[in-house]
Amino acid sequence: MISEFLNIIFKSLKLDGSLYNNKKNFTEASIYFALIIILLTSIVSLIPGSVFIQYMTSTYGLTDVKGPSFRSVLISSLIVWVIKTGYLYFVGVVLFPSNSTKCSFRKLLITVAYAYSPFIFYIFIIDIKLIYFTFIPYIWYCITLIIGLKHVLNYENFMKPSIISLAPQILLLAWILSQSFNLNSGTIS
């Protein structure tokens, strides 16, 4: 059982599309594997967060800054997992399905959790000098999610899953850029 779990993680890290085509990876135990991956990556994500908070408190002399509690990190990661899967299900299955898309919410929930596997590498960010490396697992996660969506939703190419999975990030970036260029510098008289 542990070897099956580790096999799922390694296939996800290797960007292996056969992970999502194998029905054995979506059996009854797979929801538990998915839950373990989500909880494990949320626990590991505390490491770069604490490094960043520690750096900010030492650099700027902030004394009352505390990181999020362990419970809030676990609960929020589970909520984000379900919300992200709900978005992908609505957009990928309801709004823009392919001709052969037949995917349940449960299968998509497991796929999103398998895509979280690269976040395990957050454990290596133990110093503020390494904080910029948090983008590498995130980009790896995005690529893994795109591959998983292509196989689970039976899309013919990578364009549709790329747009579906990256649309929220692109819209957020566009909004941030529009807000930064629309700063009004008025004078108070």
The model's pLDDT over 102-152, given as tens digits with 9 standing for 90+, comes to: 888 999 999 999 999 999 998 888 888 888 888 899 999 999 999 999 999
**pLDDT band per the 50, 70, 90 thresholds, residue 47:** confident
Tokens representing residue 49 in the block? 């967060």
Give the pLDDT score at 88.
Answer: 92
**66 φ, ψ to 5°?**
-125, 145
57-89 pLDDT, tens digit each: 878 877 777 778 888 889 999 999 999 999 999
Q: Residue 187 — very low, low, confident or very high, per pLDDT cuts 50/70/90?
A: low
CB neighbour list of residue 151: distance below 8 Å, 6 or more residues apart: 17, 20, 21
* Cα 61 to Cα 65: distance, rounded to the nearest angstrom: 10
Query: How much is the pTM?
Result: 0.84
Contact 122, 134 (CB under 8 A): yes
The angle subtended at Cα 166 by Cα 163 and Cα 168, nearest 5°, is 110
Whether residue 90 is predicted with pLDDT greater than 90 in this model: the reply is yes
According to the model, what pLDDT value does residue 185 have? 54
Looking up tokens 């967060």 gives 49
Of 80, 84, 60, 61, the closest CA to residue 72 belongs to 80
